[in-house]
A and B are shown apart, each in its own frame.
Chain A
Amino acid sequence: MTVLQVVALAAVAVTGTATVLMRDVVRQVVVLGFFGLALAVLFLVFAAPDVALSQIVVGSTVVPAMLLLTLVKLHRSRRDG
């Protein structure tokens, strides 16, 4: 277990906990982005470049875009009554 792997695991655990404990949804999307980045670094350190590539493109582009668009539509439809 190298130091880099231990640090990456700790970062994943901390950002995962922060994601769950954040109650404001818009800010939680940002923290989810950090969690995805920590996961990508962990996958790289575990010698899995394919999985890290998947996680980077999915976790930083597609999922935050979908979440923010959903929040916009929810806010708009609630405002319209």
Chain B
Amino acid sequence: MSVLPYLVAVWLLAVGLYGVATSRHLVHLVICLSVAQASTYVLLLGVGYRFPGRAPVFADLPPGTSVVDPVVQALTLTDVVVEATVTAVLLALTMRVQRRFGTVDPDQLGALRG
């Protein structure tokens, strides 16, 4: 039971990659990529959790109490916002593909034409 968060992270990664590989619509592909990215958040937070889980905010805790690791939380929270903007770039590319090739089906976007 103590490896459950890591197993959930591995499962999310596998499921997300399966969705990316078998997708029939580019926006569906982008959403499955978001699911795969969420697996890293779960893994990072799972690694940093320290029993008993007290949030690393000392506004009401006496200094020196053991808290959850704040370093992985710092990495994860910037990551969440940045991935939203990267998703925006991917969606903009999807619109370019639609205008250039007329389809958003990855199976029909085979050849790299100039």
Total contacting residues, chain A, CB less than 8 A: 41
A19, B91: Cα distance in complex, Å = 18
Total contacting residues, chain B, CB less than 8 A: 48
Q: Which A1-32 residues have C-beta < 8 A from chain B?
A: 1, 5-6, 9, 12-13, 16-17, 19-21, 23, 25, 28-29, 32
- Please name the residue on chain A nearest to B83 by beta carbon: A58
A55, B83: Cα distance in complex, Å = 11
Nearest CB of A to B17, in Å: 9
Q: Contact at B41–A51, with CB atoms within 8 Å?
A: yes
Q: Contact at B12–A13, with CB atoms within 8 Å?
A: yes
Residues of A near B67 (CB, < 8 A) are 47
Chain B interface helix/strand/loop/mixed: helix
Residues of A near B91 (CB, < 8 A) are 66-67, 70
Known contacts A66-B91, A74-B104; is A58 also within 8 Å of B80 by CB?
Answer: yes
Known contacts A9-B4, A12-B12; is A47 also within 8 Å of B53 by CB?
Answer: yes
A63, B91: Cα distance in complex, Å = 11
Q: Contact at B15–A20, with CB atoms within 8 Å?
A: yes
Q: Contact at B12–A74, with CB atoms within 8 Å?
A: no
A48, B56: Cα distance in complex, Å = 8
Known contacts A48-B73, A51-B73, A78-B98; is A23 also within 8 Å of B24 by CB?
Answer: yes
Nearest CB of B to A14, in Å: 10
Q: Contact at A70–B53, with CB atoms within 8 Å?
A: no
| Any A CB within 8 A of the CB of B109 | no
Question: What are 13 A-B pairs at a CB distance below 8 A?
Answer: A6-B1, A9-B42, A16-B12, A19-B19, A23-B28, A25-B27, A42-B42, A42-B45, A47-B54, A47-B55, A54-B81, A63-B34, A74-B95
